[in-house]
Amino acid sequence: EGGGVMAAEGPARPGPGALALLGPAPGAPSCPHGPALLFVKTSHGKEGGRRFYACSACRDRKDCNFFQWEDEKVSEMRLAAREEYNRSHQPSFTHRQNVDRYKNFVQLPLSKRRFCQECQQLLLPAEWEKHLDHQFLCDISTAQLKSPSQLLYPLENKKTNAQYLFADRSCQFLLNLLIDLGFRRVLSVGTPRLHEMIQSKASQEEDFSVRSLLLDIDFRYSQFYTEDEFCHYNMFNHYFFGGEAARETCRKFLFEENGERVIMVTDPPFGGLVEALASSFKKLMAMWKETEKEDHDNQEMPMFWIFPYFFESRILDFFPSFSMMDYQVDYDNHALYKHGKTGRRQSPVRIFTNLTPSMIVLPEEEGYRFCTICQRYVSSGNQHCQICNSCTSKDGRRWKHCVLCKKCVKPSWFHCNNCNCCTLQKHSCEKTCVGCFVCGKAGHKRSTCPSLSRT
């Protein structure tokens, strides 16, 4: 979505350096992904320089190059050009039109059901001619229509969509866990595989009572789901593209009737800004609270946030009631995060939740055990440390206690007296002492700093 009018917009942008997110600002300008977010450049944790607006969803300028200084006066002409640009970058069909197209598509005989791979679109016979020189799939079966995440190709630009889809095993585990915990409504935020599994079970099994609403930035799903099943949503700025009607759909879904408990399950892109996500999730939680149930007074909407374990401290900053489970979530199309022998390493992705840890039962046959002292399931390699009095491993390996650091550390780390902390054996002390450019701490580079963008 680069190019267009906006490529030449505005003066020089701030160069590389850490950015602090100042959050969604009232009256913020919009790009095709909804209201932009306000940032400021920081150096060593201190604010410096002008504030500016940038796209909430794309951290890569190639995907959306929206940029505007906060104090910049934008001419009427440029505002009009921007509105035109935003309009021209909206999908060619509305959700309602896509629902009607689907009804027509389903009535076609198999031989006439085509899907254009280049346009990522279900084709009606009248449209074939326009797509003659495109690659397309024929004979689209009902089973394929019920599994759109397999039919659509994953959008893998890591920072915007990062559509790494749950492996079947992990998806099945999540769904069984939700059912065992007594949840009957799942708000699926950026989890199309889970939504799909719930939808397909509901259509096949009469006594299956779980319902799901998918909120996702990928509008392609509107071709397969009605307006009660899918809302086009940006989780970085809590923006419903369908306006008040879509917001109302979400609000209605969160209303618990006949004791149908609601849980939100979300699997954001790992390159996403944690505080932008936390801010949106708090708004969804507030929406749930407003559904005027007396017993919601001091409760939080139950939630599973699926994210890598090295973001633990960041997530707990925003949600002190959350804790991290040991379950390793696996992905189908992710080269690194696959279970067992084929992935280069074990998946670092975990479930963060505000539910009581002892309720989250993890499968023993996949190598999890219950720790009676911690009152939670842990991976079998995660030994209880008597000194820390907890199961301390984060990555499934057995960690070791360092008396000098007063904590458990990775098995491959050793205490370095120069740096006065545990680190890899092969490291150069000078570098570690300098630490990270953003927060000054050792053990990671600027690009992976957990406090990157901390306000």
My answer on whether 202 and 61 are in the same domain is no
My answer on whether 361 and 217 are in the same domain is yes
Handedness of CA 57, 62, 66, 72 (dihedral sign): positive
Is pTM beyond 0.75? Reply is yes
Torsion, CA 218, CA 124, CA 135, CA 91, rounded to 10:
-30
Domain contains 112: yes
Domain contains 23: yes
For strands 18-24 and 114-116, give the pairing.
Answer: unpaired
> What is the domain count for the chain?
3
My answer on whether 70 and 109 are in the same domain is no
| pLDDT tens series, the chain, 455 aa | 222 323 333 345 665 567 788 878 888 999 999 999 999 887 766 667 789 999 999 877 788 989 999 999 999 999 999 999 999 999 989 999 999 999 999 999 999 999 999 899 999 999 999 999 999 899 999 999 999 988 988 765 444 455 678 888 899 999 999 999 999 999 999 999 999 999 999 998 988 999 999 999 999 999 999 999 999 999 999 999 999 999 999 999 999 887 789 999 999 988 778 989 999 999 999 999 888 666 656 689 999 999 999 999 999 999 999 999 999 998 876 555 555 544 446 788 999 999 999 999 999 988 899 999 999 999 888 888 898 889 888 888 889 999 988 899 998 899 998 888 999 988 888 654 455 655 666 666 655 666 554 33
My answer on whether 366 and 218 are in the same domain is yes
Q: What amino acid occupies position 420? A: N
H/E element, 83:
helix 76-88
Distance CA 350, CA 310 (A): 10
My answer on whether 84 and 44 are in the same domain is yes
Q: Which residue range(s) make up the domain with 164? A: 160-380
Distance CA 143, CA 232 (A): 23
For strands 46-54 and 67-69, give the pairing.
Answer: antiparallel
**Torsions phi, psi of 83, nearest 5?**
-60, -40
My answer on whether 135 and 241 are in the same domain is no
Contact at 8 Å (CB) between 117 and 137? yes
Helix and strand numbers, DSSP H then E, in the chain: 10, 25
